[in-house]
Amino acid sequence: MPYQISLQPSGHAFTAEADRTILEAALEVGLLLPYSCRDGACGACKGKVVSGEVELGSHAAGALSATDRDAGYTLFCRARPCSDLVLEVRSVTRVGDIPVKKLPCRVQKLERLADDVMLIELKLPASERFQFLAGQYVDILLTDGQRRSFSIANAPHVEGHIELHVRLIPEGRFTGHVFNGMKEREILRFEGPLGSFWLREDSGRPIVMIAGGTGFAPIKGMIEHAIHSGITRPISLYWGARAPSGLYMDALARSWTDALPGLRYVPVISDGTPDDGWSGRRGLVHEAVLADFDDLSGHEVYACGAPAMIDTARSSLITQRNLPEDAFFADAFTFANPT
């Protein structure tokens, strides 16, 4: 039995079957609600149930707290309708302008950026134009129907290929193949673009970007888009890794301060050793942001990395630095088992 779903304040409405999540049903009719991981890990799709009942699937505690649930909030990527619903959603857009496609591609380049990070450059079909927004991701489609999600690391104006940064996961099925068996000219299939993690260009607020590990990939796409588009908003980029080798494109990030007026780059190491030669900031990357900003009420934050980092950054920046909840945009990396 389909249920009627009404969205406030946009006024959009659609129907959803009981076996579909609210996000799935919205995407099927061309409505883009905020989302990223689709796994209940990042909290990007959090919204309020004004009326009606939902069944909430498994999710990370940090993405939806007990206080959130008591206040009527849910995660649209994990919630299925049990009745007609009225939902409060902070932003709703139409997805028709940039179609989601399933396309073949060819591995054009493999470059080891670190011991556990591989750059894959995928050549796109000449007959198809692939559009996306800086920060979005694609799903690599495996032969058995499974998917692996990776952020696009280049900007949209670079046509003809997309760049992915793949971290090796222990016993990972796909990532193990990337590091041990993949060859140039190999054919893959992907679906995209996906996600609502992209640079909001209709705002003039200063930006803080927080990347953890290969969470640098979509941030790289955003920065390169900002350079290409001549965006002049102040941007503070914080990139955290366990050791200096984890900052696998540190020289590139440092070069951006010359290419983009107003960009400040702060690399941070959390688990380095005294003899690693590192003379920069140490500690957790979100703590560096807390140390540098007393008030973020007029800023936007874009964060990408592990769910724990996203949860901690969101909570601390909102509660301790007055960041508005609707000014925190995130993409949390979750891993299939095996990846």
Instruction: Specify whether 148 is located in the same domain as 126.
Output: yes
Tell me, what's the pLDDT at 239? Answer: 98
What is the Cα–Cα distance from 242 to 248, expressed in whole angstroms?
11
> Per-residue pLDDT averaged across 253-260, rounded?
96
> Per-residue pLDDT averaged across 286-306, rounded?
97
Query: Domain containing 33 — which CATH number?
Result: 3.10.20.30
Residue 67 has pLDDT above 70, yes or no: yes
In a domain, 201, yes or no: no
**Average pLDDT along the chain:** 91
- Token pair 């440092």 is at which residue? 254
> Per-residue pLDDT averaged across 157-185, rounded?
94
In a domain, 249, yes or no: yes
Residue 15 has pLDDT above 50, yes or no: yes
Tell me, what's the pLDDT at 274? Answer: 80
More confident residue, 207 or 172: 207
pTM, rounded to two decimals: 0.83
pLDDT tier at 339 (50, 70, 90 boundaries)? very low
> Per-residue pLDDT averaged across 44-48, rounded?
87
**94, 127, 158 - which closes a domain:** 94
Query: Domain containing 223 — which CATH number?
Result: 3.40.50.80
Instruction: Specify whether 326 is located in the same domain as 212.
Output: yes
Residue 337 has pLDDT above 50, yes or no: no
> In 3D, which of 151, 153, 125 has the Cα closest to residue 140?
151
What is the Cα–Cα distance from 166 to 153, expressed in whole angstroms?
10
What percentage of the chain exceeds 70 in pLDDT?
97
> In 3D, which of 102, 114, 119 has the Cα closest to residue 178?
119
> Per-residue pLDDT averaged across 249-253, rounded?
98
pLDDT tier at 338 (50, 70, 90 boundaries)? very low
Tell me, what's the pLDDT at 95? Answer: 56
More confident residue, 273 or 78: 78
Q: Which domain holds residue 32?
A: 3-94
**150, 172, 194 - which closes a domain:** 194
pLDDT tier at 277 (50, 70, 90 boundaries)? confident
pLDDT tier at 335 (50, 70, 90 boundaries)? low
Find the range with the poorest average confidence among 14-18, 89-93, 315-319. Answer: 89-93
Residue 183 has pLDDT above 60, yes or no: yes
In a domain, 200, yes or no: no
Instruction: Specify whether 173 is located in the same domain as 212.
Output: no
Kind and range of the H or E run holding 188 = strand 187-194
Instruction: Name 233's Cβ contacts closer than 8 Å, sequence gap at least 6.
Output: 203, 204, 205, 206, 207, 226, 262
Tell me, what's the pLDDT at 92? Answer: 77
pLDDT digits (tens, 9 = 90+) for 70-110: 899 999 999 999 999 999 987 777 655 688 899 999 999 99
Number of structural domains in the chain: 3
Residue 205 has pLDDT above 60, yes or no: yes
